[in-house]
């Protein structure tokens, strides 16, 4: 096990509000630093992080928590010069009004990652001019499919197969985990 430490130079550059909040975590292959921020501070924090040398943007992971009524956004940012250290900036936005600032002016790749978050989760990015269906163009009609309360299989069967499975009426009981999604909105555990 390597020792896990926090990057001092990063903390110096961060706004005062977040200086003590960076946490180092993980194991040997996956050491990372985590920072939890308010959604409105995102642009400012991301700019300071880039100044501190975290120049390699990896992607945005959106996680849907219907039980807490939030979307959690994890921005994964790494560094080319600092031994590929990883920083995960986490923020939470309400599920019924999913809006957050776009950071594509800081990291150009975020432009496309934000389109992906928009089409799969319906998260709206302010000051982003190209939110549209990108991967799902001509593939999917319906609500954003990666949300937890969307039963994609049911929608596909009803939309494209006329409500039939293998040309027979659907028996939801035979679909295993999917029937529970339909009844309770929770996964089969």
Partner 1 sequence: MSKRITTVYLGPQHPGAPGNVGFKILLDGERVLDIDLIPGYLHRGFEKMMEYRRWDMDLVMSARICVEDPDHVELTYTHAMEQIFGIEPPEKAQYIRVIVAEFSRLANHLLWMMHFAGPIAARYALSWAIAAREEILKWFDYIAGHRIYHHYIFPGGVRWDIPSDFKEKTLKVLKIIKPLIKDLEEGFFKHPVFIKRARDMGRLKPREAIELGATGPVLRGSGVAYDLRKTLKYDAYKYLEYEPPKGDYGDSYDRAIVRLKEMYLSIDLIKQALEKMPYQGPYRWRIPPVTIPLGEGIGRVESARGEFVAHIINYSSKSKRTQTPYRIKFRGPTWPHLTTVLKHIITNEEITVADLPVLIGSFDACPPDIDR
- Minimum CB–partner distance for residue 36 and partner 1 (Å): 13
76 binding partner 1? (CB under 8 A): yes
Are the C-beta atoms of 100 and 122 separated by less than 8 Å?
no
Q: Which of these segments, 3-11, 16-24, 39-47, 62-70, binds partner 1 (CB under 8 A)?
A: 62-70
Rounded to 5 degrees, φ, ψ at 162 are: 60, 30
Q: Which of these segments, 10-18, 37-45, 78-86, 166-174, binds partner 1 (CB under 8 A)?
A: 78-86
Ramachandran bin of 164, using left for φ above 0, alpha for ψ from -120 to 50, beta for the remaining angles: beta
169 binding partner 1? (CB under 8 A): no
Size of the site for partner 1 (CB under 8 A): 46
Whether the CA torsion 8, 10, 12, 14 is positive or negative: it is negative
Are the C-beta atoms of 136 and 119 separated by less than 8 Å?
yes
Query: What does the radius of gyration of the chain's CA atoms come to, in whole angstroms?
Result: 20
Residues that bind partner 1 (CB under 8 A): 26-30, 32, 55-59, 61, 63-65, 67, 74, 76, 78, 80, 83-84, 86, 88, 107-109, 111-113, 120, 134-139, 145-146, 152, 177-178, 186-189
């Amino acid at each position: 096990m390597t020792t896990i430490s926090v990057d001092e130079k990063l903390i110096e550059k961060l706004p005062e509000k977040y200086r003590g909040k960076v946490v180092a975590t993980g194991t040997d292959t996956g050491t990372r630093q985590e920072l939890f921020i308010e959604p409105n501070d995102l642009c400012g924090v991301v700019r300071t992080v880039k100044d501190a040398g975290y120049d390699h943007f990896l992607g945005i992971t959106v996680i849907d928590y219907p039980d807490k009524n939030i979307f959690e956004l994890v921005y994964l940012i790494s560094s080319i010069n600092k031994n590929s250290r990883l920083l995960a900036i986490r923020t939470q936005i309400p599920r019924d009004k999913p809006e957050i600032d776009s950071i594509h002016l800081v990291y150009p790749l975020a432009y496309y990652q934000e389109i992906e978050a928009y089409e799969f989760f319906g998260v709206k990015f302010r000051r982003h001019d190209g939110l549209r269906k990108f991967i799902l163009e001509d593939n999917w009609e319906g609500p954003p499919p990666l949300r937890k309360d969307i039963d994609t299989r049911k929608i596909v069967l009803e939309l494209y197969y006329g409500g039939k499975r293998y040309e027979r009426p659907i028996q939801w009981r035979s679909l295993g985990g999917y029937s529970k999604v339909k009844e309770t909105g929770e996964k089969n555990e």
